[in-house]
Amino acid sequence: MIIHITEVKVVGPYSLDLAFDNGLRRRVNLRRELYGPIFEPLRDPAYFAQVFVDPTSRTISWPNGADFAPDFLSQMEPEETSAETIAQ
């Protein structure tokens, strides 16, 4: 089954809260994945915060066309969160 992203929320520097169409929710930090020319602009936190769910590809994307496959994102190690962070 091909999975897609239905929601994205920026929750910190390079960190996203993602909702998938199979019910999975995952908080990931993409800092280590931002290498190469297409991802260079995403190192700027203000640009990174422009993330959106592309309605065609149904994954996260940025204005310069950078994106990540939903399958890759769903298999990333979840970012550790504290109870205090979740309560906010």
Range of the domain at 28: 5-87
Number of domains in the chain: 1
Report the predicted TM-score, pTM, of the whole model to 2 decimal places. 0.86
Question: E strands of 1-88, at which residues?
Answer: 5-12, 15-20, 25-29, 52-53, 60-61
Per-residue pLDDT of the chain (88 residues; tens, 9 = 90+): 799 999 999 999 999 999 999 999 999 999 999 999 999 999 999 999 999 999 999 999 999 999 999 999 999 988 765 443 444 4
**Residue 14: CATH number of its domain:** 3.30.2020.10
DSSP state of 80: P
Measured in degrees and rounded to the nearest 5, phi and psi for residue 50 equal: -85, 10
Q: Closest by alpha carbon to 8, among 64, 74, 85?
A: 74
- For the four alpha carbons of 85, 86, 87 and 88, in that order, the dihedral sign comes to positive
